[in-house]
Structures are given as C-alpha cells and as structure tokens.
Amino acid sequence: MKRGLRVLQLCLLAVVLIGLFLIVRQTKGEQTSSQSNTQAAQIAGLPDRALPAASTPESAQPSQEAPEAPLSAEETLAQIDLQALREVNPDVVGWIALPGTEISYPVVQGTDNDYYLAHTWDRENSSCGAIFLDCGASADFSGFHTLVYGHRMRNGTMFTALKDYRSAEFLREHPSVYLVLDSGVYRYDVFSAREADTMGIVYEKNLEGREDALLQDCLEGSVIDTGVTPQAADPILTLSTCTGTGYARRWTVHAVLADSPETPDAG
C-alpha cells in the first residue's frame, strides 16, 4: 500500500515538474519572440511594429487640430527596409501586416516547412516560431495561390488575431492584409475565413486547372460573408494557423490581390 502511494506521489511530482518545464519554456520562447520581432521593426525602419487600424476617408483628412494627416498603413509599410533584414537573415522575403492587430512581422522562407515552426525570423530558438512562406512557393508571391503559416499563440501574438475573422465587425475593421515585397506594397482583401482540412485542396501543391475548385471551396466553407468574390485568375493569399482543437484541421483566412504597385487603382 505504502509503495503504491509512493509511486503515485512520484508520478504526480513528475507531472508537476513537466508542467512547470513547459510553462518556463513557453514563457522563454515568448520573450525571445517579442525581443526578436521588436528588433525586426527597428532594423526595418518601422517606428512601431504594430500599425494602427486603417483610417476612414473622413478621419484621414487634415484638420485644424492636426494640420498634417498621419501616414497611412501603405505609406508606413513602403518605408520598410527588407534588405536590412536580409543582412541578418537572407531567408527574409517580405513583411506582412494586418493594421490594428499584433500581426506585423517579417516573412521568411526556409527549405522546409518545419524549421521556422520553432525558430524566430532571425533563427533564434523559440516555440513561437516565425511567419513563413510555404517552402514550395515562389518567393515573389507570383503564383496563383500562396500559403503563409504562423502559430496561434496564447499571448495573442503571431497569427492569433486571425481567429477573430469569425466576427463581421472584425472584418469591417480589418478588411485587408498588406504584404511588402521588394517590388512594393500589395493589398489583399479578405474574402473567406474558415477551418480547412489539412488534406484538402487548400494544401495541395499543384492547382493548375483547378483554380475555380479552390475558390469554390474557400467561399462555400467561409463562416463570414465578405461581399468579395475573386475570379479564377486573381492571385490568392492564404494565411494558415492552428485551430487549437487538434492537428487535422487549420484555421485559414483567404484574401485576393486587390491593389499592387502595378495596379494602383485596382479594387
């Protein structure tokens, strides 16, 4: 009896110690990630990593109290120095931002889709990982469908804010995702948000001739009605993160290219 009780006590102690270890590791990872991403903004030339929400046309107008309107999200992002980031890590391909949220990070691309799950953009060990482009995608985002991955963290960082696209109000306040590449700033308008099967069409590598099938899958599965309907030839950006309920499905937000340096009047 005493021996059994002793074994039980040791098992409980082991569980507690493992739990404490995981908490310490998570906390350390979050601290490393926060420092790394703050440094990224400084290197890139951003005055503040988190960008304010996009202004309405009325609020953007100068007034007597504010003779000079603040820079728009696009104007601020256009100042980002990607080459300076590449001097730290040549894997940097761009910068992604969702103004008004925590999402404002460098985008990196590795030789596989595992390394940056546990490393920051500057290659430091961290459970928060980095925001990274699918290893098989074109680094200039020129393909029809481009996947970008990021963790859903308990402290609200990385791609956690994407879960809020279940709300129509959140969509109204954050209708667009911005991407900074060497060629300029690109705006993608959100047209779908939903859970996707990891074995489904969203994660297939070759979609040639199946563009309509992907769009239909995204639109039919969406939990929100955005009023945006892409055409088969429109470039699509998918942001993928975990659901918090297992590994068989992912929470995905899909956006269509609406404005680019080559088409400034689009959208």
How far apart, in whole angstroms, are the C-alpha atoms of residue 36 and residue 131? Answer: 12
Tens of pLDDT, residues 188-209:
999 999 999 999 999 998 898 8
Band of residue 18 on the pLDDT scale cut at 50, 70, 90: very low
Q: Would you say 120 and 28 are in contact if contact means Cβ atoms under 8 Å apart? A: no
Higher pLDDT, 261 or 135: 135
Among residues 164, 43, 155, the alpha carbon closest in space to that of 98 is found at 164
pLDDT at 19 over 80: no
Q: Which residues contact 8 (CB under 8 A, 6 or more apart)?
A: none
pLDDT at 103 over 60: yes
Tens of pLDDT, residues 62-81:
445 545 656 788 888 999 99
| Domains along the sequence of the chain with CATH | 2-51+70-259 (2.40.260.10)
Name the pTM for this structure: 0.83
pLDDT > 90 fraction of the chain, expressed in percent and rounded:
66
Region 93-101: mean pLDDT is 96
> What mean pLDDT value characterizes the chain?
85
At 158 the pLDDT is 95
Burial track 247-264 (b if 16+ CB lie within 10 A, e otherwise): eebbbbbbbbbbbbeeee
Q: Would you say 70 and 22 are in contact if contact means Cβ atoms under 8 Å apart? A: no
